[in-house]
Amino acid sequence: MAQLFDEWAAALARGEQPDPLDFIRRAGAGADELARLMDRFLRARPRAEPDPELVDLARGWIAGTAPLAQLRARQRLRQDDVVDLVLDEFDLAPAKRATVKRHYQRLESGQLDPARLSRPLVGFLARALKTSVPTIVSWRPRPLEAAPAYRAVPTAAAAEPLLHAASVTREPVDDDDEVRALFIATL
């Protein structure tokens, strides 16, 4: 447990934003004690002035603006510009552009968790958007607000034409393993 606390505290000292819940989960039976140590440490630690960029991003996030979109706009980049930069940086074929764009749009809109990005992609985006890696990975997707929905279930005979039409008009998934590995790294 002391090793986990030291690892967490060292990450904080380096300016990272380690997820305390991850460390507490890893502590197993010592989770409560580790949580108390972390709490005492944070209460005793002098409070630093908040990073103005992070405050601005948080305000935008609360208002519904995607932090990555804000960072991109500050650099006067369009989504297409970022997509082109990703293609160039990772030497991806031009035919993969639509797939990269779809993944980047999902990332920027909060449909992909930035913590799942591959390290090379996070590092590249941090450089391209002139920010830090912790800034990019610290923003979690906003929870979806969904209300229950109900619909009548047709009989099997009535549903047959609908099922057939859905299977015919369904768009093929244009996913690519190389692009997917950049945007959704395996844990």
| Structure-token pair, residue 87 | 């293609």
Smallest CA-to-CA distance from 54 within 139, 140, 142, 143 is with: 139
The DSSP annotation for 136-166 comes to: HHH-PPPPP-------PPPPHHHHHHHHHHH
List, for residues 23-54, the tens digit of each pLDDT value.
888 989 999 998 999 999 888 888 777 777 77
Smallest CA-to-CA distance from 123 within 74, 99, 89 is with: 89
Q: What is the pLDDT of residue 157?
A: 57
Residues 6+ apart with CB under 8 A from 42: none
Which range of residues forms the domain containing residue 19?
2-44
Q: What is the pLDDT of residue 169?
A: 39
Q: What is the pLDDT of residue 91?
A: 94
Number of domains in the chain: 2
List, for residues 102-114, the tens digit of each pLDDT value.
999 988 887 888 8
List, for residues 126-183, the tens digit of each pLDDT value.
999 998 888 888 766 555 565 666 666 555 555 565 555 444 434 334 578 888 888 8
What is the length of the chain?
187
Residue 6 in any domain: the answer is: yes
The DSSP annotation for 89-135 comes to: HTT--GGGHHHHHHHHHHHHTTSS-GGGS-HHHHHHHHHHTTS-HHH
Same domain, 58 and 125: yes
Residue 110 in any domain: the answer is: yes
Domain boundary among 44, 60, 78: 44
Residue 160 in any domain: the answer is: no
Q: Report how far residue 47's alpha carbon sits from residue 175's, in angstroms, rounded to the nearest whole number.
A: 45
Same domain, 40 and 58: no
Same domain, 114 and 35: no
More confident site: 172 or 82: 82
**Structure pTM?**
0.58
Same domain, 92 and 40: no
